Structure 1
């Protein structure tokens, strides 16, 4: 994940999607990463479920949390 410049909103990690990200999908491949390591995909509301399902089907998904500064935090 690259850090956006202050004038750029983080975008969804789904292929071809340019929508603003609202969620962090934190995951870990237990065969490659130590237990404390977490990688992050960003998701817009439309891709939260599909990206999460992809990771969960492989046993990689650890948690889904609102992206800091996202309007999702208040809901």
Structure 2
């Protein structure tokens, strides 16, 4: 899309973005949701979500677990983006 498309009214809305792994520098498709919360700043029922590819799932889980933040890991539903 460019400014000329906008002016002509021919701009198309972007399609859904693919969910990518949250590991820095990784652009692989996400297969897992890592649910976590920081008890110092979040209510107990609040869940933040990091997305993980199969390669980085273990690393991200360990990172959260070492800090006492990890709650659970769930499969990333097909076609769902965050």
Q: Could you say which residue in structure 2 is the equivalent of 1:37? A: 46
1: CA distance, partners of 2:42 / 2:27: 29
Runs (4+) off by over 6 Å: none
Aligned residues: 65
Matches within 5 A, 1:1-75: 5-6=15-16, 8-69=17-78
Structure 1: where are the runs of 5+ without partners?
Answer: 71-75
From the CA coordinates, give the structure whose radius of gyration is larger.
2
| Structure-1-length-normalised TM-score | 0.82
In structure 2, the gaps of 5 or more residues are: 1-14
TM-score (norm 2): 0.76
Q: CA RMSD in A?
A: 1.2
Rounded to whole Å, the distance in 2 between the matches of 1:11 and 1:69 is: 12
- Cα distance in 2 between the residues matched to 1:9 and 1:44: 12
- 1:45-66 residue CA offsets vs partner (Å, 9 max, x unmatched): 0000000000000010000000
- Which position in structure 2 is the counterpart of 1:73? none
